[in-house]
Structure 1
Amino acid sequence: MYAYLRFESRRLIRDPRLLTFSVIGPVVTYLILSGWAGDGHTPATVMIGLAGYGAVAGVLMVGAAVSGERASGWLRQLRVTPLPPRRVIAVKALLASVNALPPVLAVGLAGRLQHGVELGAGRWAALLTLMWVGTVPFALLGLALGYGLTPQIAQSVNFLVFLSLSVLGGLLVPVTYFPETLRRLAEVMPTYRYAELGWRSAAGQPPEPRGLLVLAVWTVVFGAVAARAYRRSAARG
């Protein structure tokens, strides 16, 4: 398992999409949309929403990559190794979650330079940790899409899922601007509960138990779907 982890880590580091798609895009979006600060929304609130937007984008990138691996026959190679599906999924999900760190750091730096956002070392550390760990359900979702869809449609579906989750979860526009029905829907979205980890951490508050429960449920659901999609894909290969 550790050899597989090292192998996948090297592949991740060499992937240029991490910089262009999940770092540069969210920073530019933050600089454009940072005017949302006001009306009860602090610069830190907007910064964390856009950092979450970039983190989810980076983590879901695994879907398109995994779909390509299927087409290249890589899953057939993994199938003949002693690695069980749950370990393959765990390694992929762990490395996918690492994609969350660069956009959070980059948007955080932009917030510091653009609006002077200052949280203190302890809160920055808590923010970074929670926004890394909180991406696990999205990593599993990306794997489910990658293992379950063909390369021809995986990228398009991945983008639509990402955009829908970002909008409905209030990452691009604060949910207080939503009508009541959409506000209620946002509360069960994993993206909203994920960003909530960052918002509460920046305010010096512990995670909200109901939010943790929502994320845990989505993690279990996405994990089960990803494992099933992997088995079916490997069997077809």
Structure 2
Amino acid sequence: MRAYLRFELRRLVRDPRVLIFSVFGPVATYLIFSGWSASDRLEGVAGPAAIMIGLAGYGAVAGALSVGAAVSQERAAGWLRQLRVTPLPAWRAVSVKAFICTVNAVPPVVAVGIAARVQHDVDLGAGRWVALLLLMWAGTVPFALLGLAIGYGLGPQLAQAVNFLVFLGLAVLGGLLVPATYFPDVLRQVAHAMPTYRYAELGWRTAAGLVPSGVGLAVLAAWTVVFAAVAAGAYRRSTARG
């Protein structure tokens, strides 16, 4: 399993395409648009910090989903069939791929955090920065599972389109691009049920010096169970077809 993990990590480092979308996009957006919220207080924290967390979450979710969607190309190329003839158990292969998805979510959080520190002097203190990074890394698990479900369940061309539409819907409705504070009441209620909102809430509450909310963790856990079930079913079907 360690050998397979090293192999996947090397593949991740050698393919910078995901970073272009998940890192540079959120950083550029923050640098250009974060000034409009400088005097606001959003989601319990100052505007620049709130926007930082939302855009960091935007990039992290994009990174987690994109790596998972790449599984569809590997499946079409016969890579999964090759893995099945190795001694590596299926659950370990899937676990490694899910872990790689979450690792890919770390650079956007770091990069947007640096941009916020430089442009708006956002300072959370060392302890909160570390807690923010760890929570936003761990919080990408449901999105990694969703990405794997798309990759195992759909062909390459369809997977890319579905992945983008799912990501865009989750990002917009979850308040990652525009804070849910500005949403109408009905849309705000929808946002609170989204895993993306509850994911970003981990960061917002950390920046405010609060622990994660019980409701938020419950919503994230529920979505994680749903996405895990879908991913497991998609993997079983892909195995049967292969």
TM-score, length basis structure 1: 0.96
Range that drifts further, 219-228 or 133-142: 219-228
Range that drifts further, 156-165 or 27-36: 27-36
Q: Which amino acid aligns with 2:225?
A: V
* Equivalent residue for 2:133, pick from 113, 128, 144: 128
State the distance in 2 between where 1:136 and 1:213 align: 14
State the distance in 1 between where 2:40 and 2:13 align: 40
State the distance in 2 between where 1:100 and 1:151 align: 22
1:36 aligns to what? 37
**1:165 equivalenced with 2:166 (yes/no):** no
State the distance in 2 between where 1:5 and 1:224 align: 23
Range that drifts further, 85-94 or 67-76: 85-94
2:239 aligns to what? 234
State the distance in 2 between where 1:67 and 1:170 align: 28
2:21 aligns to what? 21
**1:175 equivalenced with 2:176 (yes/no):** no
- Do the aligned residues in 1 keep the contact of 2:105 with 2:140 (CA within 8 Å)? yes
State the distance in 2 between where 1:221 and 1:184 align: 20
Matched-pair identity in %: 73
- Do the aligned residues in 2 keep the contact of 1:137 with 1:219 (CA within 8 Å)? yes
**Partner SS state of residue 217, structure 2:** helix
- Do the aligned residues in 1 keep the contact of 2:68 with 2:97 (CA within 8 Å)? no
Deviations 1:14-54 (A, max 9, x none): 11113211111110111222123433232111111111001
- Do the aligned residues in 1 keep the contact of 2:74 with 2:80 (CA within 8 Å)? yes
Q: Which amino acid aligns with 2:155?
A: T
Mark the runs of 5 or more structure 2 residues left unpaired by the alignment. Answer: none
Range that drifts further, 29-38 or 110-119: 29-38
Mark the runs of 5 or more structure 1 residues left unpaired by the alignment. Answer: none
* Equivalent residue for 2:121, pick from 105, 116, 122: 116
Q: Which amino acid aligns with 1:19?
A: L
**Partner SS state of residue 88, structure 2:** coil
**Partner SS state of residue 221, structure 1:** helix
State the distance in 2 between where 1:139 and 1:63 align: 6
1:201 aligns to what? 206
How many residues align? The count is 237
State the distance in 2 between where 1:218 and 1:84 align: 26
- Do the aligned residues in 2 keep the contact of 1:5 with 1:91 (CA within 8 Å)? yes
Deviations 1:102-131 (A, max 9, x none): 000000000011111001100000000000
- The alignment yields a C-alpha RMSD, in angstroms, of 1.2
Q: Which amino acid aligns with 1:36?
A: S
Cα offset, 1:182, TM superposition: 0.9
